[in-house]
């Protein structure tokens, strides 16, 4: 029996990462929605006098809920006050563990692509960690600069900087490694906003209220700015989380640009929902078709261009030799590559029947993108990729 403890550990951490991530983003969506849907108290009078600035009725799960938001603080801080922070912290912690196991312990496999940059494992990890820490420092400085007063310009500058990071990282890492680091930079900014700005602001708010002093409005203002940034980050970060299932994104030669484009789609959609929540759905509606068209324009632009057609018939023997030389060390029942106990993703490329059955995925992974061989560890050449493409365009026969 082979007990793959590491695989199971990874599965558990990934599961936790998803659960805490859903709890965090779900709560944050809910509060943004709540804030934007509050209405002034119905009857002028008692509630207003008690300091209630907005209220909202909802029905959910078989009950009616009445939520009230105080303009400042309630007259007394209640015994039980719920905070929302551990979801964020555990999402980051589990994400960081995953990043470490997969991309740092497995740097040679997932992070480094020697056909992109021939760097050492140590250098790759340092660049990765540096980009995450540096990302937060630059973002935080930006927030403390006068730029913060102009939302539009701030957004543009931040978007440009992140796109530059995406471009820079794609020059040193595998496509997948670059994507995950842009995600890690954004996720870290989001959680650091919670840890360093939003929660301390709330602590100050509560302690001022306990002393019966008016809270310093700067805390509220800062927390609001940072929450808004987090709000626009959510959809792009979620995209990056699922992107590793789609090599046509990160594996594209312009993967970094594609990431910027798809992130923009996410931001537009998020912006529409924010407008809708403010009762401006009609004005904002145009954003949806724009996002839709942009998404499919990206898909169209990213499509692999079909090139020259073959002149002679490609023999299956040639294809089989290439596959055995470049793929089978990992994709076999018993891989000879010691990093793998079992064939990755269950894909076996030993017999001609197996190769023929996987022809579509082989094309996706080696011709449409250069995702496989992983990190080009087995040094597949462009000439060989061309032969695979021709073989498939000729009907992928195994004769």
* Residue ranges in contact with ligand HEC by CB under 6 A: 244, 326-327, 329-331, 337, 344-345, 347, 358, 361-362, 365-366, 372-374, 377-378, 380
CA dist., res. 281 & res. 254, Å (int): 34
Instruction: Decide: residue 150, CB within 10 A, 0-12 exposed, 13-18 middle, 19+ buried.
Output: exposed
Nearest approach in angstroms of CB 375 to ligand HEC is 7
- Residues in CB range of 189: below 8 A, 6 or more apart: 135, 136, 139, 229, 230, 233
Q: Please say which residue, 259 or 330, places its beta carbon nearer to ligand HEC.
A: 330
Nearest approach in angstroms of CB 118 to ligand HEC is 16
Other beta carbons within 10 Å of 17: 20
CA dist., res. 275 & res. 290, Å (int): 15
Q: Are 360 and 396 in contact (CB under 8 A)?
A: no
Nearest approach in angstroms of CB 373 to ligand HEC is 4
Nearest approach in angstroms of CB 4 to ligand HEC is 14
Q: Are 288 and 294 in contact (CB under 8 A)?
A: no
Nearest approach in angstroms of CB 258 to ligand HEC is 18
- Residue 265: name the closest of 286, 236, 300 by CA: 236
Q: Please say which residue, 87 or 384, places its beta carbon nearer to ligand HEC.
A: 384
Nearest approach in angstroms of CB 266 to ligand HEC is 22
Q: Please say which residue, 276 or 331, places its beta carbon nearer to ligand HEC.
A: 331
Q: Please say which residue, 37 or 329, places its beta carbon nearer to ligand HEC.
A: 329
CA dist., res. 81 & res. 76, Å (int): 11
Nearest approach in angstroms of CB 120 to ligand HEC is 18
Sort residue 230 into left (φ over 0), alpha (ψ -120 to 50) or beta.
alpha
CA dist., res. 341 & res. 52, Å (int): 61
Q: Please say which residue, 99 or 190, places its beta carbon nearer to ligand HEC.
A: 99
What is the token pair recorded at 296? 């499919």
Q: Please say which residue, 9 or 86, places its beta carbon nearer to ligand HEC.
A: 9
Q: Please say which residue, 124 or 209, places its beta carbon nearer to ligand HEC.
A: 124
Nearest approach in angstroms of CB 183 to ligand HEC is 15
CA dist., res. 216 & res. 202, Å (int): 11
Nearest approach in angstroms of CB 330 to ligand HEC is 3
Q: Please say which residue, 198 or 362, places its beta carbon nearer to ligand HEC.
A: 362
What is the token pair recorded at 298? 């990206």
Cα separations (Å) of 293 from 83, 265, 268, 289? 40, 9, 12, 6
Q: Are 233 and 186 in contact (CB under 8 A)?
A: yes
* Residue number of the CB atom closest to ligand HEC: 327
Q: Please say which residue, 187 or 373, places its beta carbon nearer to ligand HEC.
A: 373
Q: Are 60 and 259 in contact (CB under 8 A)?
A: no
Nearest approach in angstroms of CB 262 to ligand HEC is 19
Q: Please say which residue, 329 or 393, places its beta carbon nearer to ligand HEC.
A: 329
CA atoms lying within 13 Å on the CB side of residue 33:
10
Measured torsion, CA atoms of residues 92, 11, 366, 247, in degrees rounded to the nearest 10: -40
């Amino acid at each position: 029996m082979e007990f793959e403890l590491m695989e199971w550990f990874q599965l558990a951490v990934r599961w936790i990462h998803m659960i805490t991530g859903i709890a965090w983003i779900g709560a944050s969506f809910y509060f943004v929605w709540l804030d934007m849907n509050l209405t002034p108290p119905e009857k002028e009078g008692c509630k207003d006098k008690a300091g209630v600035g907005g209220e909202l009725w909802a029905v959910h799960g078989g009950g009616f809920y009445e939520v009230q938001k105080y303009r400042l603080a309630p007259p007394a801080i209640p015994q039980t006050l719920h905070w929302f922070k551990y979801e964020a912290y555990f999402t980051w912690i589990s994400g960081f563990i995953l990043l470490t196991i997969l991309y740092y312990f497995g740097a040679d496999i997932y992070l480094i692509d020697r056909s992109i940059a021939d760097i050492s494992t140590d250098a790759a990890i340092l660049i990765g960690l540096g980009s995450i820490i540096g990302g937060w420092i630059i973002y935080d400085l930006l927030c403390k600069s006068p730029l913060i007063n102009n939302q539009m310009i701030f957004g543009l500058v931040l978007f440009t900087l992140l796109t530059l990071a995406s471009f820079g990282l794609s020059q040193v890492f595998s496509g997948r490694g670059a994507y995950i680091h842009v995600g890690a930079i954004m996720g870290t900014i989001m959680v650091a906003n919670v840890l360093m700005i939003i929660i301390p602001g709330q602590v100050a708010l509560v302690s001022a209220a306990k002393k019966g002093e008016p809270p310093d409005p700067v805390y509220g203002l800062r927390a609001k700015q940072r929450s808004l940034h987090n709000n626009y980050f959510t959809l792009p970060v979620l995209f990056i989380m699922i992107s590793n299932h789609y090599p046509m994104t990160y594996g594209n030669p312009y993967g970094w640009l594609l990431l910027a484009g798809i992130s923009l789609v996410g931001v537009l959609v998020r912006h529409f929902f924010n407008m809708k929540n403010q009762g401006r759905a009609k004005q904002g509606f145009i954003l949806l078709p724009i996002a839709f068209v942009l998404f499919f324009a990206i898909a169209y632009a990213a499509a692999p261009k079909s090139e020259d057609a073959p002149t002679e018939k490609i023999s299956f023997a040639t294809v089989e030799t290439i596959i055995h030389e470049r793929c089978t060390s990992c994709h076999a029942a018993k891989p000879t590559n010691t990093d793998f106990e079992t064939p990755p993703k269950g894909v076996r490329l030993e017999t001609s029947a197996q190769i023929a059955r996987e022809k579509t995925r082989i094309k996706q992974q080696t011709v449409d993108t250069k995702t496989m061989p992983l990190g080009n560890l087995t040094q597949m050449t462009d000439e060989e990729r061309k032969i695979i493409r021709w073989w498939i365009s000729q009907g992928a026969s195994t004769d």
